[in-house]
Amino acid sequence: MDWGMKNRMSRIINPKTGRAVMLAFDHGYFLGPTHRLEEPRKTIEPLLPYADTIMLTRGVLRTSVDPESATNVVLRVSGGSSIVGADLSDEGITTSFKEAIKLNVAGVGMSVFVGSKHESQTLLNLAELVNQGEDYGIPVLGITAVGKELEKRDARYLSLCCRICAELGTHIVKTYYCDEFEKVTTSCPAPIVIAGGPKLETEMDVLEMTYNAIQQGAVGVDMGRNIWQNDHPVAVIRAIRSIVHENNNPKQAHDVFLTIKDDAESTKAANA
């Protein structure tokens, strides 16, 4: 691994802990103006200090993140389908490496749809992205998408998806947490971060999923809705950080969440 690749990987996975807190804001590329991401800048700005890396498209990066923020970016470079279209798996590469370099990204990411009508198309696109990533020293994040078929999220299917991504050369894999998750991590030679998926019912659900994933071999998270759709997003991401980087358990992390939430509410009341 060349110097540039190592340097960019260290911007995604903290070399001091070997772990990562990634924050996903790329949902609009197929969902449009998602709840609480209608105005991206308002959602993104308060959370930037607490994310090791953010994931988003070039359009939202340019319009909604200040260049002076020194934020590490993994750029979403796939798309071409929408939630109202015929098939979410019909994606292509939307952004060039020239653009990625101009935007000073830490990495690029794209989805693959294993078992779908467009499986070959998305896997070959990922392989080509890895080829170019190796040329330019830019890590590639392979994302194991399931489209609208959430029932696919079991260990057997996700192990298949993650292993294929790793075999194609991806430097990091993003996948879902599931029962018997250690089967997924142990059979994938690339580091894995977990997606949050649809918003969970409680903060403790999010913290327990994060903790369990780390205990079973994940190097971190790449969450979105379970952070910024919460009424207290800063408290949630700081609680998640305490698990990922400080080895807190869910109870300790929930105490972090409550303390930060209560302090924010007290400050807001005092300034009212």
Distance from C-alpha of 205 to C-alpha of 209, rounded to nearest angstrom: 6
The H or E element spanning position 28 is helix 28-31
Residue at 266 is within a domain: no
Residue at 115 is within a domain: yes
pLDDT the model gives residue 149 = 65
pLDDT the model gives residue 272 = 77
Residue at 71 is within a domain: yes
Residue at 239 is within a domain: no
Which burial class, exposed, middle or buried, applies to 98 when counting CB atoms under 10 A from its CB (0-12, 13-18, 19+)? Answer: exposed
Distance from C-alpha of 196 to C-alpha of 220, rounded to nearest angstrom: 11
CATH number of the domain that residue 106 is part of: 3.20.20.70
Residue at 247 is within a domain: no
Residue at 157 is within a domain: yes
Coil, strand, or helix at residue 58? Answer: helix
Residue at 161 is within a domain: yes
Q: What is the mean pLDDT of each run of 10 residues along the chain (272 residues)?
A: 96 98 98 97 98 98 96 97 95 98 98 95 98 98 83 89 98 97 98 95 98 98 98 98 98 98 92 82
pLDDT the model gives residue 268 = 86
Q: What is the DSSP string of 168-236?
A: TT-SEEEEE--TTHHHHHHT-SS-EEEE--SPPSSHHHHHHHHHHHHHTT--EEEESHHHHTSSSHHHH
pTM listed for this prediction: 0.96
pLDDT the model gives residue 269 = 86
Residue at 259 is within a domain: no
Q: Residue 147: which domain range?
A: 3-232
Q: Is 174 a catalytic residue?
A: yes
Catalytic residue among 6, 16, 117, 174: 174
Coil, strand, or helix at residue 122? Answer: helix
Number of separate domains in the chain: 1
DSSP-assigned beta bridge partners for residue 113: none
